[in-house]
Amino acid sequence: DVLDELLPNIIHVGGYFRMRLMDLARQFGFIKEVRGLGLMIGVELEFPGKQVVLDCIEKGLLINCTHSTVLRALPPYIMTETEVDRAITILKAVFKKTKAPQA
């Protein structure tokens, strides 16, 4: 019953979050893919994301990294668009400083 109430927000905010991440993918060529369902979202990078995670945590954004190159966000179901915007601002700042390793 609780999820039935939250599902519209999960779908709406999850779609908004993915849209904003796709905007970042167009700005930063090292983002290979944005994928997810609802609020479980992954951003695949061309390089290991450990330092990105550490930099985000330092700025107050809690994310993790799976399979070495996939940044994963698992925010609470009550997340708002305003909080998504704050997360995107942090990610953009971190990505601007990120240097993709040379092959």
Rounded-to-integer distance, Cα 3 and Cα 53, Å: 29
pLDDT of residue 2: 75
- 45 contacts 69 by C-beta, under 8 angstroms: yes
Side by side, the strands of the sheet bearing 40-45 are 31-37, 40-45, 70-73, 64-66
- The pLDDT tens digits for 47-96 are 999 999 999 999 999 999 999 999 999 999 999 999 999 999 999 999 99
pTM, two decimal places: 0.91
Residue type, 92: K
